[in-house]
Amino acid sequence: MVRTLNIDAGVAAEASGNPIPEGWYEDVLIEDVTEKPSGPTSKNPGQPVYHVRLRINDEGEAKGRVLFFYASFHPADNPVSLIQLIGATGHPVASPLAVPDPPEFIGQTVRVNVKHETYNGEVRARADRIKAQGGGTKPAVGRTSGRVKLGAR
């Protein structure tokens, strides 16, 4: 007996081993955000990290493809990725940094820059930068002593 499944074209393309092409994607949906502790081999094990699931909506070969963006909370990381996520979704970026809860990001559309990296001999696509739709530059950050301070949640 043969079983058939309806699968997402983006998932099929990812499974084929063809990474998402590099470059900026202008219409990317934040599908899910989950807070998890960083892994034991990270620079700061056990610290909170937002795992952001993104789906590319741009027309072309990447349409429907999924990738992830990781935003660390740890102050020693000077959490640039967290600042990008907060600024790209229209939340204020200032010190102390108010970090919205995951549901506040879900359903928003952003721009994402995809880059390739080699991991265990395999080329993979990763979300390198995230910005608000419509261009713009990286968000301005209120600074004290050169580092962003995370506020209490």
Cα separation, 12 vs 56, in Å, equals 14
CATH number of the domain within which 38 lies = 2.40.50
Confidence of residue 63 (pLDDT cuts 50, 70, 90): very high
- Residue 152: inside a domain: no
Report pLDDT for 119.
Answer: 86
Residue 102 has pLDDT above 60, yes or no: yes
**29 occurs within a structural domain:** yes
Structural domain harbouring 71: 9-132
Range in 1-5, 17-21, 51-55 with the lowest mean pLDDT: 1-5
Residue 124 near residue 114, CB atoms below 8 Å: no
Which pLDDT score is estimated for 153? 41
| Domain presence at residue 110 | yes
Coil, strand or helix at 102: helix
Here the tokens at position 93 are: 């970026």
Give tens-digit pLDDT for 107-146: 999 999 999 999 889 999 999 999 999 854 443 333 333 3
Structural domains of the chain, count: 1
Average pLDDT over residues 57-78: 89
What's the pTM value of the predicted model, to 2 decimals?
A: 0.77
Per-residue confidence band for 3, with pLDDT thresholds at 50, 70 and 90? confident
